[in-house]
Structure 1
């Protein structure tokens, strides 16, 4: 590296004679030091990334575009004649609880299936007490321990690091169920992972643990990121047998206002609301049968 830098200085001397003047000595030293450092950085960057001896070698993350992921659909049996049948499902990922949605469900006596994480349970004891006080309305199911996508290869899903291995997927599912039981919730039978995307092998693993996987057919709020009016349009598109997914943990988002208004609008149309535990259902991708 030093020889490369020195050679560069010789070339520069031929172009800039001032480097050989007494005043150019400092300039020459600075230039030589800079060139050595530059060459060292280039050589280091060319080396393959290594961990120090004895450190575990982490597998590289696969680009999300190269990982086969499924986003399963789910429908409940259609009512056919008469009032359409719709299942409302809500994810309680983490953070707080949206009182606009919860109070609407309770006041209007609207049944729903709520998917809770261990993280949400730790910080929402009051909301949990409301849910447990109305077992005729609310079915509580498993949304995981730490809200980690149930994908068993290292990758990101919507910017969220996935579980990355079968062991981590199993812990996400089991940890969520353990937290629910410790909080006084009955053993869950459904699982919905963070982002609602799965690797096919993770689906088989979760099914092997005794769970059905809750997909959906209408995305009500796109992760609670839609405006109230856009949420209302999504809900209005629901048909007989649809399963709607929304979020109940974002009280500061405009989407919650739209969810509450949409529930009232569907009720006014005579919709029959059901929980997943009440009506036979079918999901694709081997998620329920």
Structure 2
């Protein structure tokens, strides 16, 4: 995910493409970038449910979110990147201690975009080649396993944008590509009020994405408020591997 306040949709539509990627990317058109959209299929016998997913890109941990998840026993899938893991080993061990709540996803070795072309998206470099994509994905998994975690089943790269060829490569490595249906915090750039509004509009089957590594921003307060609102509505929270999902690709 990005943290600039620019939306992905504005980027993919091409409105800000030249300013973001520069002349080195002139050969790559905006529709070469794909964004996986994900929904949960069906409805369980226990009522409506949503999947909360969080990216842990770098920096520290937002305990406004994590402590709420633990206190309220709210399930989530947390995508861990190498830079975050290096600074948050104690928190990571706490996540591993609650496999009933948390599923660990792979967010990449360096938190580089899993795109096999050279660019910078919202300040985030891309892997730049097929070999770079493979190293970003597999290297992230190795870090998680070396820290005591299980081999992750799901991958979501930085910026959550891909080329069709990088998607094929990631899936060929044995990972399921995680998307989302509601962008909760737009890279933690949104104010708390807007984040809470985004959460409140979630309906049965929604997959939400937010960030759990920006305690210095107001977005985390909105995430916590939004989770409480969903729980008050009777929503159940599931990890991605607990549900059948449908993924579609949008440019």
TM-score, normalized by length of structure 1? 0.76
> Post-superposition shift, 1:117?
0.7
Q: Does 1:146 align with 2:110?
A: yes
1:103 to 67, 78, 90: 67
1:48-73 CA-to-partner distances (Å, cap 9, x unmatched) read xxxxxxxxxxxx72149725100110
Inter-partner Cα distance in structure 2 for 1:191 and 1:159: 21
2:25 to 32, 37, 62: 62
Inter-partner Cα distance in structure 2 for 1:192 and 1:147: 10
1:89-126 CA-to-partner distances (Å, cap 9, x unmatched) read 00000110000000000000000000001111110012
8 Å CA contact 1:148, 1:161 repeated in 2? yes
Inter-partner Cα distance in structure 2 for 1:135 and 1:61: 44
Inter-partner Cα distance in structure 2 for 1:181 and 1:129: 12
TM-score, normalized by length of structure 2? 0.87
Q: Which runs of 5+ in 1 are unaligned?
A: 1-59
Q: Which of structures 1 and 2 has the larger relative contact order (alpha carbons within 8 angstroms, sep 6+)? A: 2
**Which is richer in strand?**
2
Tell me the equivalent position of 2:236: 272
Aligned residues: 227
Tell me the equivalent position of 1:14: none
RMSD over aligned Cα, in angstroms? 1.6
Inter-partner Cα distance in structure 2 for 1:211 and 1:189: 5
2:195 to 213, 231, 250: 231
Point out the structure with max Rg over C-alpha.
1
Inter-partner Cα distance in structure 2 for 1:150 and 1:275: 23
Kindly report which structure 2 residues correspond to 1:1-40, keeping only aligned pairs within 5 A, or say none. none
> Post-superposition shift, 1:159?
3.0
> Post-superposition shift, 1:157?
1.8
2:193 alignment partner, SS class: helix
> Post-superposition shift, 1:285?
3.1
Tell me the equivalent position of 2:211: 247
Q: Against the structure 1 CA distance between its residues 271 and 125, is the aligned structure 2 distance closer, same or farther, given a 3 Å change threshold?
A: same
> Post-superposition shift, 1:83?
2.7
Q: Against the structure 1 CA distance between its residues 229 and 199, is the aligned structure 2 distance closer, same or farther, given a 3 Å change threshold?
A: same
2:169 to 205, 210, 216: 205
Tell me the equivalent position of 1:18: none
Q: Against the structure 1 CA distance between its residues 64 and 246, is the aligned structure 2 distance closer, same or farther, given a 3 Å change threshold?
A: farther
